[in-house]
Amino acid sequence: MAPVLELRGITKRFPGVLANDHISLTLEEGEIHALLGENGAGKTTLMNILYGLYRPDEGEIYVRGQRAEIRQPNDAIALGIGMVHQHFMLVPVFTVAENVMLGVESVRAGIFLDQEDAVRRIRQISEQYGLGVDPYAYIKTLPVGIQQRVEIIKLLYRQADILILDEPTAVLTPQEVEELFKILRALSSQGKSIIFITHKLKEVMAIADRITVLRNGRVVGTTTPAQTSEEQLAAMMVGREVLLRVEKRPAQPGEPVLRVENLQVYDDRGNLAVRGVSFEVRAGEVVGVAGVQGNGQTELVQALTGLRPAAGGRIFILDKDVTTASPRAILERGVAHVPEDRQKDGLVLSFPVADNLVLNTYYLPPFAQRGVLDREVILATAERRVREFDVRTPSVLTPVSSLSGGNQQKVIVAREFSRPIRLLIASQPTRGLDVGSIEYIHRRIIEKRDEGCAVLLVSPELDEVMNLSDRIAVMYEGQIQAILPAETATKEEIGLLMAGVRKEEVRATAG
Amino acid sequence: MSTPWQAVGARAGVSIRRARTYGFVFLAAGLSIFLLFAWGLPAGQTTTFVLHPGGASQAIPIPDLTLPSQTTLYILALLCVFLGGWQLARGFRRVNLVLSLIAGAFVIAFLTWAASGKSFNLTGLLNSALLRAVPIALAGLSGVLCERCAVINIAIEGMMLTGAFVAALMGSVAANVWKWPAPASLTFGLVSALMAGALLGLLLAVLAVRFKVDQIIAGTAINILATGITSFLSARILAEFQYLNNPGIFRPISLPLFSKIPIIGPVVFEQNILVYVMFVLLAAVHIMLFYTRWGLRTRAVGEHPRAADTLGVNVFRTRYINVTLGGMVAGLAGAFLILGSVGRFDELMTAGKGFIGLAAMIFGKWTPFGAFGAALIFGFADALQTKLAILAVPIPSQFLLMAPYLVTMIVLAGVIGEAIPPAADGQPYEKQ
Ligand SMILES: Nc1ncnc2c1ncn2[C@@H]1O[C@H](COP(=O)(O)OP(=O)(O)OP(=O)(O)O)[C@@H](O)[C@H]1O
Ligand SMILES: [Mg+2]
């Protein structure tokens, strides 16, 4: 039987980049096919071609044995191809039902929207696959995990049987990933074929039937989880051996750099998201904040960086009270911030790479003299940083928006790490990065630590927190459950604390 | 960056301050009614509000409303003070509604004082307010159509001007050259204006969508073009041949039964066909925008064009269609100035109504009826100012001109709150 989908010799050039170089790929019915590759390897580009958003320069696509011309998304949709994009394609001010039916609206009398009909069908799909989505909810009120399910419902609603998911797990908590995998398995057992893009090797090993690895726009090879290992996959992706664990010496903590006393912060809805948190981070140590997303970590970081007012308590940086200081005053005290949402809080997407690299220092010499920007210094510095941090971009004048997701993240890291800093506040610093880049950034974080910088690392990835931290603070419902030394802490212990079990009880269960 | 934590601030004390401010504003309104109006008014004087337009109106006649000026003002002042005190002590849940009430009370107090010892035709005022609101509302509606799919139409002014010119010229040609009977010649003028508006709309769409010209610049260019051409042609043709600037006007049509309702009847149901067309259009666009497939797609294109594109919605076509329709509605607004109002074209006769329409659209939160409501307030302010000049009120005319707008701004700022445009407003869409 012909494969459900076959790509032959797909080639796509962008100015200065060969994004896809004669890529061939087959997708069998009912399989989950993982697509792996470094940041900028060309995965998203390939999928956009398949979905009709880009036209390939060369190559052919066959769907169920038939040659297919996919000129626009409508053609792909008609062929039963659906895609969940790396950056979601949902209208925030619309309801779930409106988003789902957009483009294939149910109508009465030819023109009037029939929301009830759409709602009925969404409920049906939602029940069939255990998605639990309220069709009347507004997208902007939903957490990302649920938004992603809405994206999946969009595909199923259009009766797609070839599903493309571009880094669906990058924004999910481990729990949400588990649930997504259940959904994907259910879908594949019903004969849906799935292309699944991710950077997380564990996930690939857990869910994929077959794995194809891309590097520099070319297929490096196709394999199965049984025939390979995480180390092997990492090496295939990056083209060299990769350390999946971080090597570091014991910390040599010095004076406290960040001190937080009984901090309280409201969230957007006016609820107390951080409820009286106290801790300190000393020079030369990494304090990791573990916790299921949505337990106040976001608000905590925003308060520490001056982006959100504190409702109570105090924040000291280098013994100076900065509770009400402006973000600029805080960063001028030597604080670097890698924000959680890179596109919203970390970059000006339409600005070139070079400008984004000096977003928080442009007004200082050497980038500005007496209020006038010195373009040459800015450009020369940008060239250096891009090389140093291996940002894959055609030039430093390319707008950041056309960089691949992982390379956007590297721009932020390059900006924040190349200032003299005393405190690094990093929220999910490796979100969406490939294993090679993760290794690199982890190494840089440890280097900063060893230089005597204090590091506060917030990440829902338990592995990352455990690998990097010297001490681990576990947050639950706006409070710190416990602060544990990283050497003795176990995954189980932290998992229980994250789930809200109290420290004394954890000890009791463990002991 | 939009600031989602404004909401936090709101809960963390700012709202209390804002609520207090409202209370003081209410008290101040009461106090000013007392000091400015009631104080020093000769006792025993009355104000008469005429509630029937007179003339050929079919409305059931009702007696005039005669009020003791000072007592009325005291009552209104007390009302404001009471509401202000309540707001400070307890706080209203729907404080914006109360604010509108206060503004209404203030306007009535003002009229009571201004017309004290005289009689004042209230129906006439409202009628004139509606007529002045129509072109503004239509301009706002044109803006709604365009901006809902994320194209900023700053060219409404020019489109109106062109529509007005074409309506005057073509209506006159049909009536005075071809000697068509009135309904046919007027309709011809109207349809020509619609076509002219549509053409300019299409031009804007081509510039903004196809060539991705900055929309403000494209719109400004169209305004300059329209101003230049109509002024030139009007000086060359209309001024030379007067019969080409005399299309006649649509006569008022009294709707049976409805026109008999006191006050509302003569204000709303004894108008010419274009006013009724406006009401129908408002309702139609509202229904289309929020209850049809076209509307859902339009709003999606305005909020997140890439999302719409990935679902197979044609972003470009949507924008072409909507902006052309928007141009048509702007053409209608222009035609109203001629065929529904003064019956002849003058250079620059739109006098900024297109821009005021855009303001109405914003105040109306990009909804048809919101824009209409805002247009009514603008129209009312405009009408009031002309009527007061007739009453010879003893305050400087400059202040008279200003006062209604002040009230308008306070009310709008308070009642409407933050206005959020469609998320993609003004951004050209790049297909990848
Ligand atoms: N619209 C565009 N214009 C110019 N260059 C582009 C465009 N889109 C992608 N590229 C370039 O093509 C290359 C491949 O990008 P792509 O987004 O496909 O990578 P990716 O494999 O999805 O990476 P990531 O894992 O970081 O998302 C990158 O070098 C990127 O800079
Ligand atoms: Mg990608």
Residue B428 counted as domain residue? no
Indicate if B150 and B111 belong to the same structural domain: no
Cross-chain CB nearest to B310 (options A73, A101, A302): A73
Spell out which residues of chain B touch residue A77, defining contact as CB-CB under 8 Å: 311-312
Select from B91, B117, B143 the last residue of a domain: B117
Same-domain pairing of B109 and B127: no
Neighbouring-strand partners of residue A455: A286, A424
Provide the 10 A C-beta neighbour count for residue A312.
15
The model's pTM: 0.84
For helices B353-363 and B156-172, angle between their N-to-C axes, nearest 10 degrees: 130
Residue type, A164: I
Q: Looking up tokens 């056309």, which residue turns up?
A: A402
Domain identity same for B154 and B221: yes
Residue A350 burial by Cβ neighbours in a 10 Å radius (0-12, 13-18, 19+): exposed
The average pLDDT across A149-161 equals 93
Instruction: Determine the residue of chain A that is closest to B298 in CA distance.
Output: A102
Same domain for B151 and B294, yes or no, is: yes
Pocket of ligand 1 (CB under 6 A): A 14, 17, 19, 37, 39-45, 86, 392, 402-407; B 432
Chain B CB contacts of A113 under 8 Å are: 291-293, 295-296
Give contacts of B303 with chain A, Cβ < 8 Å: 91-94
For residues B240 and B159, membership in a common domain is answered with yes
Closest residue to atom 7 of ligand 1, CA basis: A402
Q: What is the ipTM of this complex?
A: 0.86
- DSSP annotation of B154: T
User: Which pLDDT score, from 0 to 100, does residue A412 have?
Assistant: 93
Q: Look at B56 and A46; give whichever has higher pLDDT.
A: A46
Rounded CA-CA distance B281/B288 in Å is 10
Query: What's the gap in Å between A411 CA and the centre of ligand 1?
Result: 14
Q: Relative to the CA of A37, which ligand 1 atom is closest?
A: 21
Inside any domain, residue B423: no
pLDDT score for A411: 94
Whether A247 has a pLDDT exceeding 50, the answer reads yes
Domain assignment present for residue B346? The answer is yes
| Beta-carbon separation of A107 and B293 below 8 A | yes
Confidence of residue B263 (pLDDT cuts 50, 70, 90): confident
Placement of tokens 């405190």 in the chain: A423
Tell me: do B226 and B334 sit in the same domain. Answer: yes
A15 touches chain B (CB under 8 A): no
Tell whether B430 is covered by a domain: no
Name the residue among B183, B146, B198 with its Cα closest to residue B319. Answer: B146
Q: Which domain holds residue B87?
A: 3-117
Find out whether A392 and A440 touch, Cβ atoms under 8 Å: no
Q: What pLDDT does B90 receive? A: 82
Please determine, for residue B377, whether its predicted confidence score (pLDDT) is greater than 80: yes
Using pLDDT thresholds of 50, 70 and 90, give the confidence band for residue A355. Answer: very high
In this structure, the residue with its CA closest to atom 20 of ligand 1 is A40
Cα–Cα distance between A133 and B188 in angstroms, integer?
A: 54
Q: Is residue B98 assigned to a domain?
A: yes
Rounded distance between C-alpha atoms, residue B366 and residue B143, angstroms: 8
Q: Is the pLDDT of residue B56 over 90?
A: no
B291 to A112: CB separation less than 8 angstroms, yes or no: yes
Distance from the alpha carbon of residue A19 to the mean position of ligand 1, in angstroms: 7
Q: Given an 8 Å threshold on Cβ–Cβ distance, is B294 in contact with A111?
A: yes
**Which residue among A73, A98, A345 places its CB closest to the CB of B309?**
A73
Residue closest via CA to ligand 1's atom 22 equals A44
Q: Are residues B148 and B287 in the same domain?
A: yes
- Our CA-based measurement puts residue B432 at a distance from the nearest CA of chain A, in whole angstroms, of 6
Nearest to A413 by CA among A342, A502, A479, A329: A342
Residue A221 CA to ligand 1 center (angstroms) comes to 20
What does the alpha-carbon distance between residue A93 and residue B423 come to, in Å, rounded to a whole number? Answer: 9
CA distance A173 to chain B (A): 23
The answer to whether residue B426 sits within a structural domain is: no
Atom 2 (ligand 1) nearest CA: A402
| Strand extents, DSSP E, A370-467 | 372-373, 423-427, 454-458
Q: How many domains does chain B divide into?
A: 2
pLDDT of residue A509: 63
Residue ending a domain, choose from B74, B92, B117: B117
pLDDT for position B257: 86
Any CB–CB contact under 8 A between A51 and chain B? yes
User: How far apart are the C-alpha atoms of A220 and A406, rounded to whole Å?
Assistant: 20
Nearest atom in ligand 1 to the alpha carbon of residue A217 is 14
Rounded to whole angstroms, the Cα distance separating A60 from B40 reads 89
Residue B367 exposure: Cα atoms within 13 Å on the Cβ side: 12
pLDDT of residue B368: 97
Residue B368: closest CA among B268, B271, B295: B295
* Residue A313: per-residue pLDDT: 93
Q: Is A482:A503 a contact under the CB 8 Å cutoff? A: yes
At residue A368, φ and ψ (nearest 5 deg) are -135, 140
- CB–CB of B197/B133 below 8 Å? no
What per-residue confidence (pLDDT) applies to A462? 85
- The verdict on B151 and B279 lying in the same domain is yes
Sequence-ordered strand ranges (E) for A65-123 = 66-68, 81-84, 107-108, 112-113
Instruction: Give the whole-angstrom CA distance, residue A265 versus residue A295.
Output: 12
- Average pLDDT taken over every residue of chain B: 88
Mean pLDDT of chain A: 90
Ion ligand 2: residues, CB < 5 A: A 44, 86
Closest CA to B331 of B268, B281, B382: B281
Q: Are B91 and B19 a contacting pair, CB within 8 Å?
A: yes
Beta strands in A391-485 (DSSP E): 423-427, 454-458, 471-476, 479-485
A34: which DSSP letter?
Answer: E
Answer yes or no: is pLDDT of A507 > 70. no
In a domain, B399, yes or no: yes
Facing residue for B312 by CB, picked from A74, A113, A311 = A74
Q: Is residue B111 located within the same domain as residue B144? A: no
Query: Is the pLDDT reported for residue A480 higher than 80?
Result: yes
Residue A294 CB coordination number (10 Å): 16
Please name the residues in contact with A167: beta carbons below 8 A apart, sequence gap of 6 or more. Answer: A86, A197, A198, A199, A405, A432
**pLDDT-based confidence at B234, cuts 50/70/90?**
very high
Distance from the alpha carbon of residue A86 to the mean position of ligand 2, in angstroms: 6
Residue matched to tokens 């639950």: A476
Residue A255: what residue type? E
Contact A102 B12 (CB under 8 A): no
Same domain, B106 and B254: no
Residues B292-305 have a mean pLDDT of: 96
User: Are the beta carbons of B9 and A309 separated by less than 8 Å?
Assistant: yes
For A273-325, write each residue's pLDDT tens digit.
999 999 999 999 999 999 887 889 999 999 999 999 998 999 999 999 999 99
Residue in A85, A103, A112 nearest the CB of B313:
A103
What is the residue with the minimal CA distance to atom 12 of ligand 1?
A19
Answer whether A175's CB lies under 8 Å from A148's CB.
no
Instruction: Select from A49, A87, A155 the least CA-distant residue to B432.
Output: A49
Last residue of a domain, one of B87, B117, B147: B117
Query: Cα separation of A482 and A262, whole Å?
Result: 15
Q: Is A54 on the interface with B (CB under 8 A)?
A: yes
Same domain membership, residue B101 and residue B129: no
Tell me how many residue pairs between chain A and chain B have CB atoms under 8 A apart.
Answer: 95
List the CATH number of the domain containing B276: 1.10.3470
Interface contact A309-B308, CB threshold 8 A: no
Inter-chain CB proximity B5 and A111 less than 8 Å: no
Q: What is the pLDDT of residue A144?
A: 79
Residue pair B425/B152 in contact (Cβ under 8 Å)? The answer is yes
CB-nearest to B5 from A104, A112, A268 is A268
The reply to whether B349 and B394 lie within a common domain is yes
How far B366 CA sits from the closest chain A CA (Å)? 14
Q: Which atom of ligand 1 is nearest to the CA of A48?
A: 18
Task: Report how far ligand 2's centroid is from the alpha carbon of A404 (Å).
Answer: 6
**Inside any domain, residue B13:** yes
Which residues on chain B place their C-beta less than 8 Å from a C-beta of chain A?
A: 1, 4-5, 7-12, 291-297, 299-300, 303-304, 306-313, 423, 432
Judged by CB atoms closer than 8 Å, whether chains meet at A103 and B306 is answered as no
> What would the two tokens of residue B1 be?
């960056």
pLDDT at A111: 87
Run of H or E including B231: helix B215-233
